[in-house]
Amino acid sequence: MVAIAEKLSFYHLINAEQIKKKDIELICNLASKYADLSRKGSKIPHDNENLILASLFFESSTRTRFSFESAMQKLGGKIISLEQGQSSSTNKGETLSDMGRIMSCYADLIVMRHAVEGSVAEFAKYANVPVINAGDGSAHHPSQSLLDIYTILSEKKRLDNLTIGLVGDFKYGRTVSSLLTLLSYYPNNRIILISHDSLKYDINKLNMLKSLVDEVIETTDLSKYIQDLDVLYVTRIQKERFNNLLAYEKVKDNYHINQEAIKNAKKNMIIMHPLPRINEIAPEIDSLPNAKYFQQAQNGLFVRMALLNLIAKA
């Protein structure tokens, strides 16, 4: 048994705003215990042997779904799953609220991804077991923000006094806004938002961020700030959310992180990406010590183990 006495402050996890600093500490501490056990090849305690996780994915996923499913199994629990919403009665027109009621009869925890903003919150209203939002449209991806924070903390040993550059798609991407919410809890951070003008961060979210964070800069020019960055967080242009493919074609190759693009970066700048990547990071970067995106995906397993274990006690 991995002993953690305290409880999380939320029941369902729908957005990053629900996550308090204390929750981040609890989750990161437990995740690093799981990471240690795994590194040493020690057995993971089966603390959640009697639990069934339902994983309901109405949208594509590799890392999020498999890491949640693997996490539950490593904790001794079991999974029932729905992939791409293909075989559920939502195809027959069943509402998410009815599905929420029904799935609570069969599972002890639910993780759900859906293309429609607000859909997971709606589903959770009718579920009487904890529901984790694994991404709803362009809105939220709170478990990703936890593994991103865990990765920054384990690599940089702090979450304050950092200059963090984010690059890519802030209009449709959901990982950035969830991560920025958590980063805004820590003092003396500088946030540099680097994107094409058509993919800028929502103005209301930007103003909120500016009221919480020491310094926020919006720019189209990565080269102007690259030498200042402790963390470079790269994101994919979210092709599937564009109404107009021509608009996507115009911006899809705007930023390409290769050796040349980072030649003036600090030696210990880390490069992160929630993945999948398309062309935004060149394969030549993969073998550099700065590249942390595969480690970040691995961390996702430990963070989701911690999250499932703790949320089961909520």
Binding residues (CB under 6 A) for ligand NCD: these are 63-64, 135, 141, 144, 174-175, 236, 274-275
Cα separation, 181 vs 166, in Å, equals 13
Beta strands in the chain (DSSP E): 52-57, 78-83, 109-114, 131-136, 163-167, 190-194, 215-219, 231-234, 270-272
Quote the tokens at residue 58: 């109405």
Q: How far apart are CB 287 and ligand NCD at their closest, in Å?
A: 21
Cα separation, 23 vs 3, in Å, equals 16
Helical axes 142-156 vs 293-311, angle rounded to 10°: 120
Cα separation, 5 vs 74, in Å, equals 21
Q: How far apart are CB 141 and ligand NCD at their closest, in Å?
A: 5
Residue nearest to ligand NCD (CB): 236
**Which residue number, 81 or 128, has a Cβ lying nearer to ligand NCD?**
81
**Which residue number, 54 or 139, has a Cβ lying nearer to ligand NCD?**
139
- Nearest Cα neighbor of 134 from 177, 91, 175, 81 is 175
Q: How far apart are CB 84 and ligand NCD at their closest, in Å?
A: 14
Residue with tokens 């992180």, as numbered in its chain: 257
**Which residue number, 165 or 274, has a Cβ lying nearer to ligand NCD?**
274
**Which residue number, 165 or 168, has a Cβ lying nearer to ligand NCD?**
168
In angstroms, what is the C-alpha Rg of the chain? 19
**Which residue number, 63 or 171, has a Cβ lying nearer to ligand NCD?**
63
Number of Cβ within 10 Å of residue 40's Cβ equals: 8
Cα separation, 201 vs 195, in Å, equals 9
Q: How far apart are CB 176 and ligand NCD at their closest, in Å?
A: 9
Q: How far apart are CB 211 and ligand NCD at their closest, in Å?
A: 25
Q: How far apart are CB 174 and ligand NCD at their closest, in Å?
A: 5
**Which residue number, 47 or 148, has a Cβ lying nearer to ligand NCD?**
148
Residue with tokens 């550099």, as numbered in its chain: 288
**Which residue number, 174 or 190, has a Cβ lying nearer to ligand NCD?**
174
Q: How far apart are CB 179 and ligand NCD at their closest, in Å?
A: 11
